Amino acid sequence: MLEVKKVVSSIAKIATMSIAVTSMIACSGGGYEQSVNGRNDVVTVGDSIFDLNGVLQETLESYAGTQFRDYTTSGAELQGGLFAPSVYEQYETANNFNGNINTIVMDGAGNDILIPATLFDPYGCRTRWYRRNPSNSCNNLINQQYTAAVNLLNIMDADGVQDVVWLGYYELPRSNANLTKALNRGDDYLGYACEVASAASCSFVDPRGTVPANQVESDDIHPTPAGSVNLANQVWPVLAPLL
């Protein structure tokens, strides 16, 4: 009987985690928009911060008065990943379809931390009462994303992309608040990759401290529509002069 209870408990735990990951990678229902009646030289790539409700992209397009090519995909990791085309793959697809890309608007690397942390936290990115800082494995994971970010930006620059606007990540509330230190370190590294370490002309938009908990959905990850408008209002002053 004890063994049966253990099996049931394990199945329930896996099912709960699967639901959590499914909510993280749930698609907004749209595929790539590879050709638009607007600015085909402006391309968005990234994850569900853009893609899930679509409001961030829609708001930027409404401010610009035109459409951009959209390759963002919920569940996307920066490089690799099992659930969705990575940001690397999104950019490669966009460039292969039409290489006349002047401006990239993007985010990326959040899921590389969040997806494993939502499952079993094998890298030790969550802080605990017994571990006040992310583990060395988590720090190594962040270092890998930094290297991948620099490499991607250098590829974009070599391909002739003139400007990149990279949106960072805000602090997550409630059940994910114990990922704050890992995400903060990741943001610091992404900002450095964007504005210092790569050859690209890249501007980093840092939303930390600007997105209250009531602008984050009940999954404690994604922005509400109001949160997406908030993020768009931070991206727009950086993007507008580049259009």
Q: What is the pLDDT of residues 183-223, one digit of tens each?
A: 999 999 999 999 999 999 999 999 999 999 999 999 999 99
Question: Domains in the chain, please, with CATH?
Answer: 2-242 (3.40.50.1110)
Of 5-9, 79-83, 107-111, 214-218, least confident by mean pLDDT is 5-9
Per the rule left: phi > 0, alpha: psi between -120 and 50, beta: everything else, 102 is alpha
- At 216 the three-state DSSP class reads strand
pLDDT at residue 6 is higher than 50: no
| Mean pLDDT confidence for 105-128 | 96
Report the distance separating Cα 26 and Cα 75, nearest Å.
7
pLDDT digits (tens, 9 = 90+) for 36-87: 999 999 999 999 999 999 999 999 999 999 999 999 999 999 999 888 999 9
Question: Quick one: pLDDT at residue 227?
Answer: 98
Report the distance separating Cα 118 and Cα 113, nearest Å.
9
Contacts for 133 with CB less than 8 Å, ≥ 6 apart: 127, 181
Q: Which helix or strand (DSSP H or E) is residue 94 part of?
A: helix 87-97
The pLDDT confidence band at residue 133, using thresholds 50, 70 and 90, is very high
Instruction: Name which residue leads in pLDDT, 165 or 22.
Output: 165
Contacts for 1 with CB less than 8 Å, ≥ 6 apart: none
Question: Quick one: pLDDT at residue 198?
Answer: 98
Strands (E), the chain: 39-45, 68-70, 103-106, 163-167, 202-205
The pLDDT confidence band at residue 17, using thresholds 50, 70 and 90, is very low
The pLDDT confidence band at residue 16, using thresholds 50, 70 and 90, is very low
| Mean pLDDT confidence for 114-139 | 96
The pLDDT confidence band at residue 20, using thresholds 50, 70 and 90, is very low
Question: Quick one: pLDDT at residue 82?
Answer: 84
- At 242 the three-state DSSP class reads helix
